[in-house]
Amino acid sequence: MSRIGKSPITIPAGVEISVNDTTVKVKGTKGELFQEIDPEMKININEGVLVVERPTEQKRHKALHGLYRSLIANMVEGVSNGFVRKLELVGVGYKAAVQNNVLELNLGYSHNIYLAIPQEIKASAETLKGKNPIITLEGYDKQLIGQIAAKIKSMRKVEPYKGKGIRYVGEIVRRKAGKTASK
């Protein structure tokens, strides 16, 4: 049995969950999220606890059981507390600035890169003297924040020799040894 799927989700105060035939709607203080689910999966809400149940022991149902439980748990967490993702720009001259939900990146290319950030996400960039610039993404949709963070990260991937590029704060990058001079 799926250990993730069978664990219940406690619904915090201020969060409303409504279930239609194939749609789960979660509404909280930060926002509102929707998720389409398989019509065979059953969702039960009793006394502030949500439980996802599967109809059979088929491999497909087992996979969907854990998936939908995780998606709904992320939705509940997002509309009540929100999510934060931080990216660090490592490299000489790398800069970031945010104006009117447009992220401007200077990553050593011949031109600056402009990326429009969706309205649901609040982006900010800070540069402290002697430290690498940090981009902070805040919002209530975990999937959207992850997608935007991955898009920003793909603008300049971390290279393994000097470690330059865009990485998540706290991410460990495996470094390679460079060529050594032979005699």
Taking Cα atoms as reference points, which of 46, 43, 12 lies closest to residue 30?
12
Q: Which long-range contacts (CB under 8 A, 24 or more apart) does 156-163 make?
A: 156/89, 156/91, 156/94, 156/107, 156/108, 158/90, 163/90
Token pair 């945010």 in the structure block, residue: 98
pLDDT at 2 over 60: no
User: In angstroms, rounded to a whole number, what is the distance separating the alpha carbons of residues 66 and 61?
Assistant: 9
Does the predicted model carry a pTM greater than 0.75?
A: yes
Q: Quick check: helix, strand or coil at residue 134? A: strand
Residue type, 31: G
Model confidence band, residue 37 (pLDDT cutoffs 50, 70, 90): very high
Average pLDDT of 8-14?
A: 92
pLDDT at 3: 82
What proportion of the chain, given as a percentage, has pLDDT over 90? 81
Asked if residues 152 and 144 have their Cβ atoms less than 8 Å apart, the reply is no
Q: Can you list the domains of the chain with their CATH numbers?
A: 3-80 (3.90.930.12), 83-168 (3.90.930.12)
User: In angstroms, rounded to a whole number, what is the distance separating the alpha carbons of residues 143 and 75?
Assistant: 9
According to DSSP, residue 30 is labeled S
